[in-house]
Structure 1
């Protein structure tokens, strides 16, 4: 096992050990592209989203530790990648600058929590979810589709992601908390009611019913983080398929 440790350390030095973050990044993007149809600027938009996330992760790590020197290479590489990939997007669609302030406000929430070493706080997680949902409207703007046309997409995806934040807490960090378990169950019940009342279609209603079932049955069972993640991967794919089917 020892020979594998240096390679694993190098990988973690450049890739954050936050596997759930990738689904939170990709689901809004893929759902929005599936609804609007692909445009070539969507490729650099994806690159900006991924590179920007990597840059923000290491920037927040520097804020938390006060040791920017330890992550300077990552900040330089991912910062440069974000700028280079963002340039053609700005040239083609300057309107995307309108999202910068919103991203900055949400990032400020992350910075405040990083300074207090409270990155796992619920408010911080919700700010990250909101950042990821902005990608839906960014994709729409680049595709020259009115962002208002994708409000339903953002709402459905956001309803899933917020529920996932609560559910995963009941499975890992707040495993023994009855308050979080009841909050997660109540939230998923409300999300199902909204899916039905808003007319999101039978597919999304079934998916949110399954999500409610997992929020009610699985907490308290000793599932490994890997199994929790695999279950959420299935949930993510089901939500994606239902959203694209409903709004495409």
Structure 2
């Protein structure tokens, strides 16, 4: 059995931010602890599975790890579903989008924008689950949790592409600049706290462009930015 250690620092923010958004917008429950445990196990399982799929030289050790984490995740999430059967709706959507990620991994086209958007959608749905666990309703606040998560993560994808994979592509540069500017404008139209939350995202998209930063530094900056966004969004929901 082998374990692939996650090497993308920004992914931790994607795992945790929507979960916290859902709690801030809703009500904390002890079932949240069960969900976050299962959610991390799902991530480890999928990460090892995708790594196994895209490797030309297959190592079943990663497949065994995926199975172990997946089994534990099912146990945790099954207890949640027994408590709140409606959660099957959210998990079903996650699985559907997860199928796209598996497909792109199998054809080694993980840079495809649809693959990125699919992953972002899955992470954002996790925020909806977190909200539903506390409130047990489908309402406008849940929609906000999804939208805030989705829009922020799309911006993160564009920024990271301009810093690593597409750093010489001027189209991505201006797409990132434009997107982040519109995000700030939309944020202030929503609420001053949301507008303030995304200002640093615009600043780092413009100021860091063209800099030869190592992926670790880029990831650490993203974690710091994610903490700030989480704080401001939390203040917005708790106001």
- TM above 0.5, yes or no, is yes
CA contact (8 A) 2:177 2:205 kept: yes
Structure 2: distance between partners of 1:14 and 1:96: 29
Pick aligned residue for 2:224 from 216, 229, 234: 234
**Structure 2 residue 182 is matched with structure 1 residue 190:** yes
**C-alpha distance after superposition, 1:219-244 (max 9, x if no partner):** 10122222212221121011111111
CA contact (8 A) 2:42 2:70 kept: yes
**Structure 2 residue 189 is matched with structure 1 residue 202:** no
* Bigger relative CO (Cα 8 Å, ≥ 6 apart): 2
**Structure 2 residue 43 is matched with structure 1 residue 19:** no
RMSD: 1.8
- The residue that corresponds to 1:169 in the other structure is 161
Count of residue pairs the alignment pairs up: 236
Pick aligned residue for 1:62 from 37, 52, 58: 52
| SS of 1:13 mapped into structure 2 | coil
**C-alpha distance after superposition, 1:97-143 (max 9, x if no partner):** 11132112211110121111011222211111100000111112211
Q: C-alpha displacement at 1:68, in angstroms?
A: 6.1
Structure 2: distance between partners of 1:28 and 1:220: 30
Q: C-alpha displacement at 1:70, in angstroms?
A: 3.4
Q: C-alpha displacement at 1:69, in angstroms?
A: 1.9
Moved more, 59-68 or 114-123: 59-68
Pick aligned residue for 1:38 from 28, 36, 43: 28
- The TM-score with structure 2 as length reference comes to 0.92
- The TM-score with structure 1 as length reference comes to 0.88
Structure 1: distance between partners of 2:173 and 2:225: 19
Q: C-alpha displacement at 1:29, in angstroms?
A: 0.4
- Point out where structure 1 has 5 or more consecutive residues left out of the alignment: 1-9
Would the alpha carbon gap of residues 226 and 63 (structure 1) be closer, same or farther in structure 2, given more than 3 Å must change? closer
**Structure 2 residue 127 is matched with structure 1 residue 125:** no
**Structure 2 residue 135 is matched with structure 1 residue 144:** yes
- The residue that corresponds to 2:65 in the other structure is 74
